Structure 1
Amino acid sequence: MLAPCQRPRNAAATREAILKAANERFAAESYEQVGMRDIARDVGVDPALISRYFGSKEELFGAVLNSCGDASELLSIPRAEFGRHIAEDLVYGEKNEQKLRWLFIMLRSISSSSVACEAVKCASQTNFYRPFTDWIGGEDAEVKVRLAAGLMMGLKISREMNGGFDLSPEDSRKLCGRIAVVLQGIIDA
């Protein structure tokens, strides 16, 4: 008699499926609302398996934040072209659902839980602010990073909230040019 077909075990695929489900849950709900059992049910695994791969809910949330990416793409832009490149992306770039999801995860989480807020702070420092500060270097690098990041995030959120900047081609060009000058000025100051 043949044994019933079983799904082959693949630890890496299971871990990735758990991380993806957690990403979806944390994007849709606050940190406090997300339960390990809910994520396990989404993936079709036992909740104990999540603990085996990630440990606690806090550690799973940290893994989600670390999967959000880092500053490497940003820091690969030649320094002299930084302002122009970022401005063009902010004004004309395609909508990136994944980056928006990660931004929403962070924004939703910082107001829902002190544990989540601390995790966001730690991941942001490690994955974005510290590498960006090192890349800028020099005097007042931390101040420059906070100013540039605030401008970039604010414009990104504003664009997505409104489905674009809703400007004429001429005004879009002007906006792009001004953003480029301001961002390059921050970096070069």
Structure 2
Amino acid sequence: MQFGARGFANTGVRDIAAEASVNPALVLRYYGSKEGLFRAALDHSIFMDPVFALEPGTMGQRIVEIFLAANEMPSPLSMMILSAGDPTAHAISVRALDEKVIRPLADYLDGPDAEARAACLNLLWSGFLTAWKLLPIAPLSDDRLPMIAGWLADATQAIVDGKFGPKGSPSAP
């Protein structure tokens, strides 16, 4: 996907049409604009159903297994990060993140501070994936990954279980 590899500013409708082997006018007919195409690409690529199918009591370990099984950076995260410099793409990304990740994850978590805990999970997961896949840092090398995966599983589970949350919240220690 062009947006995930090059970002919003460096991707044109012609690039995407060429990759799909269609006329650029057809892309614009269906999506209206490059912004409409970006919105549709994000909406299509953010797929949280596997997360919501997990039992809350095992989410920490299972989410780490899902991350480690992925061979590449999740497309929606790279699309959002690489496109954050464009105000229009930024606004589209923030809306998609709220509507497709934060609010549904808060509904899944339920309980005290569910929305704040959902935001904490998003922060934890996107930070890990960014430092591991998009901007790889040496401390996340293969030989250290099992230790870090264990930490990520524990941190995720603590947030899911309501044992960790924003300072001053009922779920904070």
CA distance in 2, matches of 1:45, 1:173: 44
Q: Which of 109, 127, 130 is equivalent to 2:103? A: 130
Q: Which residue of 1 aligns with 2:140?
A: 165
TM-score by length of 1: 0.73
The 5-angstrom pairing of residues 22-101 of structure 1 reads: 24-90=1-67, 93-97=68-72, 99-101=73-75
One-letter identity of the residue aligned with 2:87: S
Larger Rg: 1
Q: Which residue of 1 aligns with 2:91?
A: 118
| SS class of match (1:32) | coil
CA distance in 1, matches of 2:147, 2:7: 38
Q: Which residue of 1 aligns with 2:125?
A: 152
Is 2:86 aligned against 1:109? Answer: no
Please state how far the C-alpha of 1:119 moved relative to its aligned partner. Answer: 0.8
CA distance in 2, matches of 1:40, 1:173: 41
Q: How many percent of aligned residue pairs carry the same amino acid?
A: 28
Please state how far the C-alpha of 1:178 moved relative to its aligned partner. Answer: 3.0
Change (3 A) 1:88 1:51: closer
CA distance in 2, matches of 1:81, 1:125: 24
Please state how far the C-alpha of 1:124 moved relative to its aligned partner. Answer: 1.2
Cα deviations across residues 49-81 of structure 1 (Å, max 9, x unaligned)?
Answer: 112222221111111101213221111110110
| SS class of match (2:36) | helix
Give the total of aligned pairs.
Answer: 160
Cα deviations across residues 96-140 of structure 1 (Å, max 9, x unaligned)?
Answer: 32x5333211101112x1110111111111211111011011221
Work out whether residues 140 and 148 of structure 2, in 8 Å CA contact, stay in contact via their aligned partners in 1: no
CA distance in 2, matches of 1:179, 1:35: 37
5+ long unaligned stretches in structure 1: 1-23
5+ long unaligned stretches in structure 2: 163-173
